[in-house]
Copies of this chain bind each other. A is one copy, B any other.
Amino acid sequence: MSFNTFGKLFRFTTWGESHGPAIGCVVDGCPPNISIKESDIQIELNKRKPGQSKFTTQRKEDDKVNILSGVFEGKSTGTPISLVIYNKDMRSRDYETIKNKFRPGHADYTYFKKYGIRDYRGGGRQSARETASRVAAGAIAKKVLETKIGKKFKVVGAVTQLGILGCDVSKWNDNYIKKNQLFCPDKSIIKLWEKYLLSVRKSGSSCGAIIEVRARGIPPGLGAPIYSKLDMDLAAAMMSINAVKGVNIGSGMNSAQLSGEQNSDEIFNKGKNTNFNSNNAGGILGGISSGQEIVVSFAVKPTSSILSSRKTIDKFGKNTSISVKGRHDPCVGIRAVPIGEAMMNCVLLDHYLMHKAQCK
């Protein structure tokens, strides 16, 4: 896990800028003989694709993935899988007016301070466009885990808070999530969310979100203490997503307010199965999976590109102001759902392989 590579045994390296000719990734360490088709990856990419509803940016991206290596006659060969997505519908001229200004809340200023040079078109490397590569890598991880663990394995994510509006997590419904454009798990809140989001969009403002990702069917034992703890790697994975500012495992930040009695999940056996009375731990104890559902949530800050004029400076050091027009999501958090799922899949497979190496 270094620079542009994520993972230890299942590793992917992403590359590409928002307005360059292409983006892509190299997936390394994929076990051989796994059935992988471009369509397996495309399905996941389509979940993340912009331009699909009135709730996301109107930038049209085909996001069509091409497999350039590592798959032979429909099966992985154990060698690196190179995936490429060619960029289209790039309107670089949109960015000419802001090429010398640092957009507040964006990484324009910090990239420039770090590198002394930056590709300003669409944010260049700092653009969330990079996350398409992760979704592609995650699709491969998912295929491997489905093959190795079987049907009980499932990762599913949802938006559990949209701006100031939470939802009732106890009403979580996997099927419903797939059916609405906001990845909302709670049917009772959807109308309110849609109304709220359209008003945010209309006003040229933006809002944040909380995403929750759950993994089921994970055997106990995954996670390598101390510095490859499963929760540590999940926290890193989610925090690496653009605009994420906080990560919770299970009860997360709220666990500070619980008593020892409330927090520690009691254990009991029923037949041959080990059960827990609650899941404050989010399925992870001491950095190792317990066999419970793994629950991770993370906060995505509101889109920084807004219509309102904001104070800023330019690259020559002058005070100025900026108002970002272009085509932007009112809530980037929504499209973070498939990204969170992808990162979950990648981390789980990485730990699955590490566990197999050392302990099986």
Contacts and interface: CB of A to CB of B under 8 A. Distances in A.
Contact of A313 (B207, B225, B229, B274): B274
Interface string A293-334: 000000111111110101111000111000000000000010
Contact of A14 (B226, B267, B308): B226
Nearest to A25: B26
Contacts of A238: 235
A259 B205 contact: yes
B26 A15 contact: yes
Contact of A245 (B117, B253, B318): B253
A1 to B, nearest CB: 6
Nearest to A27: B15
B357 A354 contact: yes
A269 B69 contact: no
A16 interface: yes
A78 B117 contact: yes
A259 B4 contact: no
If over half of A's interface residues share one DSSP class (helix, strand or loop), that class is named, otherwise mixed; here it is: mixed
29 contacts: A6-B227, A16-B68, A24-B68, A32-B358, A33-B115, A68-B84, A78-B114, A78-B117, A79-B124, A79-B125, A104-B265, A107-B286, A126-B225, A205-B259, A207-B259, A210-B256, A239-B247, A245-B249, A245-B250, A245-B255, A253-B299, A255-B299, A260-B303, A262-B302, A263-B302, A264-B310, A269-B318, A269-B319, A356-B357
A289 interface: yes
Interface stretch (A41-49, A185-193, A216-224): A216-224
Nearest to A204: B260
A88 to B, nearest CB: 14
Number of copies of this kind of chain in the complex: 4
Interface stretch (A56-64, A149-157, A168-176, A276-284): A276-284
A359 B114 contact: yes
Contacts of A107: 225, 285-288
Given A81-B15, A114-B355, A285 B105 contact: yes
